[in-house]
Chains A and B, each alone.
Chain A
Amino acid sequence: NAGVTQTPKFQVLKTGQSMTLQCAQDMNHNSMYWYRQDPGMGLRLIYYSASEGTTDKGEVPNGYNVSRLNKREFSLRLESAAPSQTSVYFCASSENRRGGLMNTGELFFGEGSRLTVL
C-alpha cells in the first residue's frame, strides 16, 4: 500500500501565482485533512473533510480552498500565493466511524509538500 501520497514534494512559486497540492489515499478512509507545519508553530489544520462530499474550515483556512474530489482524493488550492504561505503542507487521512473532528483514530500522514513563495 502506498498510504497517503502527496504531489508535488517541492514547489517554488512567485507571489500571486496559483497552484494545487494533490493528495490521494488508498486506505479507503473516510476523513482527510490538510495541515501546515511551520517552525515554532506546530501543526495547524487548514481544512478537513469528514467524509466524501463534505469539507470544513480548520484553524487557518484563509487563502486556501479545498476539493474532496472523491473518497480517495483531497486537493488544496492556493489561488494567489503569498510569502506567508511558505510552509510544509501535510495531507492526512483517518478511518473512523465518527470522522472529521470526532475522530479518535490515528491519522496517516503523507510525506509532505514543501512550498516556497517568493
Chain B
Amino acid sequence: AQSVAQPEDQVNVAEGNPLTVKCTYSVSGNPYLFWYVQYPNRGLQFLLKYITGDNLVKGSYGFEAEFNKSQTSFHLKKPSALVSDSALYFCAVRRNAGNNRKLIWGLGTSLAVNP
C-alpha cells in the first residue's frame, strides 16, 4: 500500500541553524513528491515538488528537498531557519503511472523556530 511517513510530530530549531523535516514514502514505481506548508489558521501553500530530473529540488522561501530513491526519502531542508518558518509542514506523494494515483498526505510536522 502507498504511504507517507513524517516520523517527527515536532521539530525545534534555533533561528539561524539549519533545519530538516523528514519524509519517507512507500509507493510502487516512481513517485511524484511534494512539500506544502500551513501557517496557523491558513490553507496549505505549495513549497516544492519532485517530478523527475535533478534529485535536489529548490522551492519557495529558501527551502529545498532531496529525493533519495534508495532510501525512499524526500527530506525538506533549509540552511538557515527563520522564526517566520514556524508552521506545519506536509509531505505528499503519489504514483506517476498505473492505477491508484491519488495523492497521499503525511500527517504533518510542526516546525518551531526559536529566536
Q: Are A107 and B46 in contact (CB under 8 A)?
A: yes
Chain A interface bracket (under 10, 10 to 19, 20 to 34, 35 or more): 20 to 34
Q: Are B106 and A42 in contact (CB under 8 A)?
A: yes
Q: How far is the CA of A20 from the CA of B45 in the complex (A)?
A: 24
Q: Are A111 and B42 in contact (CB under 8 A)?
A: yes
Instruction: With both chains docked as a complex, state the minimum distance between the C-beta of A49 and any C-beta of chain B, in angstroms.
Output: 14
Q: How far is the CA of A59 from the CA of B105 in the complex (A)?
A: 12
Interface residue from B34, B42, B46 paired with A112 (Cβ < 8 Å)? B42
- Would you list which residues of chain A between 14 and 55 have a CB under 8 Å from chain B? 40-45
Q: Are A106 and B90 in contact (CB under 8 A)?
A: no
Interface residue from B42, B51, B102 paired with A58 (Cβ < 8 Å)? B102
Q: Are A101 and B101 in contact (CB under 8 A)?
A: yes
Q: How far is the CA of A45 from the CA of B103 in the complex (A)?
A: 9
Q: How far is the CA of A53 from the CA of B32 in the complex (A)?
A: 27
The answer to whether B56 has its CB under 8 Å from any CB of chain A is no
Chain A residues within 8 Å of B, Cβ to Cβ:
4, 40-45, 58-59, 90, 92, 101-104, 106-112
Q: Kindly list the 5 A-B residue pairs having the minimum CB-CB distance in the complex, ordered from nearest.
A: A109-B43, A106-B46, A43-B105, A42-B105, A42-B107
